[in-house]
Amino acid sequence: MNQISILGCGWLGLPLAKSLLEKGFSVQGSTTSVEKISLLEKSGITTYIVALSAIEVSEEAANSIEKFLKNSEILIIDIPPKLRGNSSENFVGKIQNLIPFIENSSVKKVLFVSSTSVYSDDNSTITEDFKPNPDSESGKQLLEAESLLQNNKNFQTTIVRFGGLIGEDRHPIHFLAGRKNIGNPNAPINLIHQEDCIGIIEAVLQQTQNDNLERNEIFNAVAPFHPTRKEYYIQKAMELNLPLPEFDESKTSVGKTILSTKIETLLNYKFKKIL
């Protein structure tokens, strides 16, 4: 089956959808914004308004979700948990309400875009065999959502845990440039470029379609490049002629090093972008 549903056609989902269309797939996409419908449809994406609720799904919303999933065998879930700061968002509740619709649809395989925030910052070197122990609300809810999807026997779920997302229009240095007293100067970076995110998802889809992946596979997805935050962001500021960031070295740095060896070995994927 060549139809894929992408829940969340945002910063990553939209260019992913365009790439899949170029490869001959039919794509059904979702957005929460009426204003974005024309943009998505001009790209060739059959578009639906899908705003998940953690409370009760209205009849109108249910109809939209059912149409969005209809005739797709693969569903990609790429929606942010929106749990920064003091947010009281119930991301787990949204996934709980989505699951019955997946069960009653033609979807047999789910790819869930998660995050390396499910691992705590305890200066460990982390592979997929490492037991997650999130120390943020976002990480905790993502891990619970992963479990809900992978424990469901009605469909197969593959998890891709991305590191910090960067792209041509998105890079932390634009926020950090010129700032002072930035913490964790000696913590390693764990970033991944948008182009590699798309490449990895497509590699997973290829293996999924060929039934080459074990049930409930998990992949860490971070570029194999881990200089310290201080080294990396100062160098990046110099390259872009931005004010240099200044770091606070008075406290011990905490972080983690995420390894993505499994992506290179099991998927035979070669990272494309130098960060």
- Higher-confidence position of 226 and 210: 226
Rounded average pLDDT over 110-127: 96
pLDDT computed for residue 275 by the predictor: 83
pLDDT tens for each residue of 152-173: 999 999 999 999 999 999 999 9
**pLDDT-based confidence at residue 86 (cuts at 50, 70, 90):** low
Q: Is the pLDDT of residue 62 over 60?
A: yes
pLDDT computed for residue 88 by the predictor: 75
From residue 42, alpha-carbon distances to 10, 32, 39, 58, 67 in Å are 15, 17, 5, 28, 19
Instruction: Give the list of residues 6+ apart from residue 66 with CB closer than 8 angstroms, or none.
Output: 101, 104, 105
pLDDT computed for residue 233 by the predictor: 98
Rounded average pLDDT over 183-204: 98
pLDDT computed for residue 1 by the predictor: 55
From residue 187, alpha-carbon distances to 166, 196, 198, 249, 258 in Å are 18, 23, 26, 11, 12
Nearest-angstrom CA–CA distance, 19 and 199: 9
Nearest-angstrom CA–CA distance, 199 and 252: 36
Rounded average pLDDT over 99-109: 97
pLDDT computed for residue 85 by the predictor: 57
**pLDDT-based confidence at residue 208 (cuts at 50, 70, 90):** confident
Nearest-angstrom CA–CA distance, 24 and 66: 23
pLDDT computed for residue 212 by the predictor: 81
Q: Is the pLDDT of residue 119 over 70?
A: yes
pLDDT computed for residue 210 by the predictor: 81
Percent of the chain topping pLDDT 70: 98
pLDDT computed for residue 44 by the predictor: 96
- Higher-confidence position of 87 and 255: 255
